[in-house]
Amino acid sequence: MKNPFSSNQHHYDGSFLPEDYVARRAEVRANFFSLTLFGIVVFSIVAAFFVSNRQWTTIKVQREIVTAEFSRAKREIDQLQELERQKAEMLEKAEITTSLIERVPRSVLLSQLVSRMPEEITLLDLKLENKKIKPQAGAPRPNQVTRGTLSRGAGNPAQTKPKLVATKYTYTITIKGVTSKNEYITDYLSSLNACDLLDMVNIKHIKEKKMDDVVMREFEITAIIRHDADARSVKSPEQLRQGSEAIKTKRLSNAARKEK
């Protein structure tokens, strides 16, 4: 005989709840877990978005600060370059102005040459010659506009102004004179070498010359004027005379000792 309770025997195994109810409950539980996981994922995404957005805002602010610092530094660099340009222009103008002004007036130069000359020397000829110094290879010539300057200044009229270069000269002095002894020439040569205005003082020649039946020593001395010569630093004629007197006294005392 069939047991009427055999179809419901599995209820006694675990639960007395209907199968439909258990299935629906499991489905609800699965849906709840799925929604919970979905919520966690959505929350994580939103949180990551807010964190990334905050970081991006911080980076944007830092970038703006860095950009502002770069802009300020660029303005300062531009100002410094402008000051350097103005300084270079002022130096060029000062150099040109200085080249037009005589650092060594001819009167001061002649006073030095005569005051340093021993009384035993007679001056025959004095010549001052100048020679233009050629610019070095690649350097702009005086009052010359380079091609690069023209091409760079095509859009800016202020840059088309030619760059002036001061013309420099070398001044050479030639002194001719006569005296009775070679030691006077040596004294004069030493005195000229001690002059702050002159450089490269050399004796070109000494030869005998008969004048009014008297044999004299004719000499020729050459020198150049220093490029950095300053007439304010030279000794006065009074100081030079005192020095010449001291040299003459010393020479006479030496001669007297030799005679003894």
Place of tokens 């380079």: 146
DSSP run (H or E) holding 200: strand 198-211
Report d(CA 56, CA 100) in Å as an integer.
Answer: 65
pLDDT tens digits for 69-84? Answer: 999 999 999 999 999 9
User: Are 241 and 192 in the same domain?
Assistant: yes
pLDDT tens digits for 228-259? Answer: 777 776 666 665 655 555 555 555 565 555 55
* Tokens representing residue 55 in the block: 């970081």
Residues 44-71, mean pLDDT to the nearest whole number: 88
Q: What is the pLDDT of residue 8?
A: 45
Instruction: Give yes or no for residue 55 having a pLDDT over 90.
Output: no
In-domain check, residue 142: no
User: Are 90 and 110 in the same domain?
Assistant: no
User: Are 196 and 211 in the same domain?
Assistant: yes
Q: Which residue has the higher pLDDT, 159 or 96?
A: 96
Q: Which residue has the higher pLDDT, 231 or 6?
A: 231
User: Are 122 and 232 in the same domain?
Assistant: yes
In-domain check, residue 160: no
Number of Cβ within a 10 Å radius of residue 219: 24
pLDDT tens digits for 158-187? Answer: 455 666 666 777 889 999 999 988 889 998
In-domain check, residue 80: yes
User: Are 119 and 33 in the same domain?
Assistant: no
DSSP-derived secondary structure letter, 168: -
Residues of the domain holding 253:
106-133+168-259
In-domain check, residue 174: yes
Q: Which residues pair with 178 in a beta bridge?
A: 122, 218
User: Are 124 and 226 in the same domain?
Assistant: yes
Q: What is the pLDDT of residue 248?
A: 57
User: Are 253 and 183 in the same domain?
Assistant: yes
Q: What is the pLDDT of residue 210?
A: 83
* 101, 123, 145 - which closes a domain: 101
DSSP run (H or E) holding 224: strand 214-225
User: Are 84 and 177 in the same domain?
Assistant: no
Q: Which CATH number fits the domain that encloses residue 246? A: 3.30.70.60
Q: Which residues pair with 170 in a beta bridge?
A: 131
pLDDT band, residue 146 (cuts 50/70/90): very low
User: Are 23 and 117 in the same domain?
Assistant: no
User: Positive or negative, the Cα torsion across 111, 131, 229, 92?
Assistant: positive
Instruction: Give yes or no for residue 212 having a pLDDT over 60.
Output: yes
Distances (CA, A) of 33 to 25, 37, 38, 65, 129: 12, 6, 8, 47, 110
In-domain check, residue 25: yes
Q: How many helices (H) and strands (E) does the chain have?
A: 5, 4
In-domain check, residue 158: no
Task: Using a cut of 0.75, tell me whether the model's pTM lies above it.
Answer: no
Q: Which residues pair with 208 in a beta bridge?
A: 217
How many structural domains is the chain composed of? Answer: 2
In-domain check, residue 186: yes
Q: What is the pLDDT of residue 164?
A: 63
In-domain check, residue 161: no
